[in-house]
Structure 1
Amino acid sequence: MESRLFAYVSYPDAAAALDWLEKAGFQPVRRQDGPDGKVVHAEVRMGDAVVMVSSDDAAYERPPLVGRSTGSGLYLLLDDVDAFYRTALAAGGVSVIEPEDTEWGSRRARVLDPQGREWSVGTYEPGLSS
């Protein structure tokens, strides 16, 4: 079987995270809420990118932004970095790196979603040999 990687992230308020993701351009695929109303499992998609989302099951501590990174995040390959950046900010995201051209020939930007998760977007496609 061919290997494929999908992101799985949890949030203190997964319903709010799903709302932000939809406003930022992701399309909902499925959602299952538990009896307590918390999101047990959800999936959103933008093109071929799929992100699975759930509610936190513990009081996790997430690293704060230090400089231009929290130390981990998600990277989304896009043709139009600037459009995603504007849409993400309009939906309540926080700017970390404004859209810029890189020295390695791509375009990139970075935002924090309203709950502090780092989202990087760019035109660089990882894993391709140069």
Structure 2
Amino acid sequence: MASTVIPCLTYEDAPAMIDWLCENFGFVRHEINSDGNGGISHAELRLGDGMIMLGSPHPHTEFGRAISTPDKLGGTTQSPYVIVDDVDGVYEKAKANGAEIVREIRTESYGGRGFACLDPEGHLWSVGSYSPWARA
């Protein structure tokens, strides 16, 4: 098996954010596991050959610290980058559905077009058409 990276995110209202991410960024539900208390213990969302995993907050005592959300922590330490064909369409849809645009849509000097936004729970997302895989 080839190595890969899959971002893992935490959301206060993970079920609602699964809907939001699928509707606005085009993710598709791959696997969703309830925690039995209205939250999500583990979810996998696919986008093309990529995937993110997400869930509801929980103590994760095996890590020695709680896993929380950007809003509760007062910032973010990661920013998934989503490659899409219709950047302008995704931008308009995300903006209309509660995303806070933190970098307006623009053509990048290194190629492609993109923007950055905070989702309704404060995760920073960069969305664009630039693909590092397409470079020679």
Q: Which runs of 5+ in 1 are unaligned?
A: 65-69
Deviation at 1:128, TM superposition (A): 6.4
User: Which residue in 2 is equivalent to 1:34?
Assistant: 35
Between 79-88 and 119-128, report the one with greater CA deviation: 119-128
User: C-alpha deviations, 1:74-119, integer Å up to 9, x for none?
Assistant: 1011222111111212222111112101122221111110000011
User: Which residue in 2 is equivalent to 1:6?
Assistant: 6
Deviation at 1:55, TM superposition (A): 0.4
**Alpha-carbon separation, structure 1, partners of 2:74 and 2:81:** 17
Question: Would the alpha carbon gap of residues 37 and 71 (structure 1) be closer, same or farther in structure 2, given more than 3 Å must change?
Answer: closer
Deviation at 1:120, TM superposition (A): 0.2
**Other structure's SS at 1:108 match:** strand
TM-score (norm 2): 0.79
Structure in which a larger fraction of residues adopt strand: 1
RMSD, matched Cα: 2.0
Deviation at 1:129, TM superposition (A): 5.7
Corresponding residue to 1:103 among 103, 109, 126 = 109
**Other structure's SS at 1:12 match:** coil
Segments of 4+ moved more than 4 angstroms: 127-130
Structure in which a larger fraction of residues adopt helix: 2
Deviation at 1:39, TM superposition (A): 0.3
Deviation at 1:125, TM superposition (A): 2.1
